[in-house]
Chains A and B, each alone.
Chain A
Amino acid sequence: MLKSVNSIALAATILTLTAGTALAQSCSKTGGTLTYVYHPEPTALSTIATSAVPVAIISTKIYESLLSYEGAEMTPKPSLAESWTISDDKLTYTFKLRHDVKWHDGKPFTAEDVKFSVEKIIRPYHSRGKVYFGDVASIDTPDPYTVVFKLKDPVPFFMNVFQPGEAPIMPKHAFDGVDLSTAGAVRKADIMQKPIGTGPFRFKEWRKGSDIILERNSDYWRKGHPCLDQVVLRVLPDGAARAIAVETGEVDLAPMSGLPEAEILRLSKLPQLETSKAGAEALGPNMWLEVNMREKPLSDVKVRQAISLVLDREKIVDVIWYGQGTPATGPIVSANPVFYNKALKPFEYNPKKANALLDEAGYKRGADGVRFKMSQNFLPYGENWVRLAEYVRQELGKVGIVVETQSLDLGGWLKAIYTDWNFNITSTFSHNYSDPSIGVERTFTSSNIKKGATFTNSMGYKNARVDELFAKAAREMDPKARKAQFDEIQQILHNDLPVIFLVELSYTHVWNKRIHGLITNGISMYSSWDSVWKD
């Protein structure tokens, strides 16, 4: 039996654990309110309804999962489970639960709640539930404080999934009388708006459009915690107004790049504020241009390479994203110290070479200097994406590719890209999450060419070797072999360019220096904040 060592977890890097980092410790001071600002407002208080960023930030203070995680490497630590064992064949995971945990309504927490949450709620209704628990053959509860997961096949990332936002344990009794057979009925349940969790903070009040107040859970199982009396979310829709609220000290924290990049740059120079990109390593947002490879000329790898050659990634980071990012080299972000393939070279910026490649591919300039025309869409997530589209149009124009930009809102964009496949190229970004089998595979395997599935293989990219490697890696329990599989995948995608990799985005958090202990792991803003304290 192996205990708690998750060999595939991300290893720590000193780089990511910068100033401001603190691991879960005892409270240096208790009391006080942490007010953070974010927009849009959450639409529910459970990641079962939607795991969108605003929902994930607040609901992870209320709900917990079996494990918590430490450091950027995401080492599993006890939470609702105080210990665990993994069988030698890696098919049986036995979790021993704490005896002293109560739900916020006072009822005791037991193994039945875990079994119910995974089988009836998370697996069917969390957007990644089937990825996480699709291979679970059975969940047994031999006694009220023991849960045994039996898997059909080994799942190398199984110890990564018990995060409070990804596998929140919910009270079985709160679903009495709720029809569990449809997503709609579960999402209408009272508990989605008035949560009952086990976490360090309990729900107090939600004034729609204004704020949500969480208060200290005085019965919290971790004695002496949480340090704070209250956590308050303030909803401020205007980016500049959010920045002002942070600047004046009206709010303590703007998490997850919740401010416009230009404002982050400005606020990072103020003495009373701290700015950090650490604490989101297990999310790994990666931005690229998705290329519809179903038709010529974009089906030609030389054309895609030419497009890649005319885009200056340093410039995109510095000018368009105000320095908030890193040039990308492939599908896995470089902040991932285990799986990132360090042998990948940076993408070259060389318009001359691009012209030569396009000539070679047979797309010579016409009398008007034009090689071919195409359209581009962009992810409608704000100003930066518009400016990126403008930059792409301008640079491709220089090598004779005339680009017409089409503007759609999110609903229209999703339908055009992921349901109708009616596009040539589009900017987008995707999260790596805590394992490439969870976050990367979905974009590049041919089994993920599915109409109506958002953020999947919209390109129509088919590569038998890539499919084979991803399939192997999803079952591979030998860390070295798995790393080699992902290394090869990264090299193939780097050369094939089914998407034009551009920038590893960063989630930048800005907070007032009177707040301490925020950055604890690779999902710091989706963690419980039970040890965060305020001066």
Chain B
Amino acid sequence: MSATLWFVIRRTLQIVPVVLAIAALNFLLLHLAPGDAADIIAAQSGGASAEFTAELRRSFGLDLPLYQQFFVYIGRLLTFDLGFSNVQHRPVFDLIAERVPATLLLMVVSIGFALLIGVALGIVSAMRHRSWVDSIVSVIALLVYATPQFWLGLMLIVLFSIMFGTLPSGGMMTIATDMSVWGRAVDIGRHLILPSITLALFYVAVYARLMRASMLEVYTFDFVTTARAKGLSEARVGLVHAASNALLPVITLAGVQVGHLLGGSILIETVFGWPGLGRLVFDALLQRDLNLLLGILFISSIVVVLANLAVDLLYGFLDPRIVHQ
């Protein structure tokens, strides 16, 4: 137990310098891009005088030398203050907090769906190696893997919203109607179907192929031969003995891909008008909303680091030998 605890503490402490280094790098990289929010606000208003723009810049603190802006930023981070968005006119923390639930919902449902279906398909494929089932799964996985997500999303909208008219084309909930809590949950669920499937399908393909390969490798190990020699059924050998050992690389990839998934959700959120963090990043980037952008990058780097920590801990659970190394 103490070994496990020590393992958790050590891994957690390692997060701090990583996150701070990411924050500093983000700040420097973003300031390499020319132009600032004052220019953008002036331009989006149809143009403004130089004095008007300079006054905006001054009141946003964008006229300070870069190193001063950097120290202001790091100083604020150390007190967990993410600052103020000059473009959206609101605190960065509030802006992020109201978007996180939507993105988390989309991500968790998608990754859950992808793992469930992907792993199942991979197992079936491996257990029926070189059969027609295996071939069909492999071909479909390859096709889905190669399909651009935004296109798939639009095609699903055309199919289910326009042709069948069964599912809404976008948004997270029906606007301007009063509903019971249960009714609202069903409503959000209906809105969630198309975006989560679109986001998940790519990962279904990835996990199915990885699980299949991993299973086939595990099948060559001695303990599988032993299990078979003991007279266990092929189903038990595959599902219990081989599958649990073959899961490790899939879990690793799923953890590493949390960042990737966050990136993928930008596209999906755009296509489906899903009011999440991804959209916020996109808008912030185009509007040079640096404080907001830095805030989102900071939070998402924490999410990614935590996801990797969770994977490490899960390793310990799946394979206790790792904790003691």
Query: B36: CB under 8 A from chain A?
Result: yes
With A and B bound together, what is the CA distance between A451 and B51 in angstroms?
10
A-B contact count (CB 8 A): 185
Q: Which of B232-281 contact A (CB under 8 A)?
A: 269-276, 279-280
Q: A454–B172 contact, CB under 8 A?
A: no
With A and B bound together, what is the CA distance between A456 and B50 in angstroms?
10
Q: A450–B45 contact, CB under 8 A?
A: no
Known: A208-B95, A237-B279. A127 touches B157 (CB 8 A): no
Q: Determine how close the nearest CB of chain A comes to the CB of B19; give it in whole angstroms.
A: 26
Q: Which of B15-61 contact A (CB under 8 A)?
A: 33-37, 39-50, 52-56, 58-60
Q: A237–B59 contact, CB under 8 A?
A: no
Known: A241-B273, A452-B50. A411 touches B39 (CB 8 A): yes
Q: B45–A184 contact, CB under 8 A?
A: no
Contact with B along A454-494 (1 / 0, CB 8 A): 11100000000000000000000000000000000000000
Q: B169–A245 contact, CB under 8 A?
A: yes
With A and B bound together, what is the CA distance between A184 and B55 in angstroms?
9
- Chain B residues within 8 Å of chain A by Cβ, number: 66
Q: B43–A454 contact, CB under 8 A?
A: yes
Known: A209-B275, A414-B40, A455-B46. A183 touches B34 (CB 8 A): no
Known: A127-B45, A234-B273. A43 touches B89 (CB 8 A): yes
Q: B99–A208 contact, CB under 8 A?
A: yes
Contacting residues, chain B, for A33 (C-beta < 8 A): 176
With A and B bound together, what is the CA distance between A185 and B86 in angstroms?
10
Q: Could you say which of B5-13, B128-136, B160-168, B311-319 contacts chain A?
A: B160-168
Q: A51–B283 contact, CB under 8 A?
A: no
With A and B bound together, what is the CA distance between A184 and B275 in angstroms?
27
Q: B171–A236 contact, CB under 8 A?
A: yes
Determine which of A44, A208, A454 lies in contact with B47 in the assembled complex, contact meaning CB atoms within 8 Å: A454
With A and B bound together, what is the CA distance between A35 and B171 in angstroms?
13
With A and B bound together, what is the CA distance between A112 and B271 in angstroms?
47
With A and B bound together, what is the CA distance between A410 and B35 in angstroms?
8
Q: B169–A237 contact, CB under 8 A?
A: no
Query: A192: CB under 8 A from chain B?
Result: yes
Residue on B with the closest CB to A451? Answer: B50
Q: A209–B40 contact, CB under 8 A?
A: no
Residue on B with the closest CB to A430? Answer: B47
- Chain A residues within 8 Å of chain B by Cβ, number: 64
Q: Which residues of A contact B (CB under 8 A)?
A: 33, 35, 40-41, 43-44, 49-53, 127-128, 130, 182-185, 187-188, 192-193, 207-211, 213, 230, 232, 234-238, 240-241, 244-245, 247-248, 250, 408-416, 418-419, 430-431, 433, 442, 450-456
The 5 closest A-B pairs by CB, nearest first: A411-B35, A209-B275, A184-B59, A455-B47, A127-B45
Q: Which residues of B contact A (CB under 8 A)?
A: 33-37, 39-50, 52-56, 58-60, 84, 86-90, 95, 98-99, 102, 150, 154, 157-158, 161-162, 165, 168-173, 175-176, 269-276, 279-280, 282-283, 285-288
Query: Other than the known A410-B40, A442-B47, what 11 A-B pairs have Cβ atoms closer than 8 Å?
Result: A44-B89, A127-B46, A182-B59, A183-B59, A184-B56, A238-B273, A409-B286, A410-B286, A411-B34, A412-B35, A453-B50
Complex A-B: 29 CB contacts under 8 Å: A33-B176, A40-B283, A44-B89, A50-B45, A127-B47, A128-B48, A182-B58, A188-B84, A210-B172, A232-B176, A234-B171, A237-B279, A237-B282, A238-B150, A238-B154, A244-B157, A244-B162, A245-B170, A248-B165, A408-B34, A409-B33, A411-B33, A411-B37, A412-B34, A414-B35, A414-B43, A431-B46, A450-B50, A454-B42
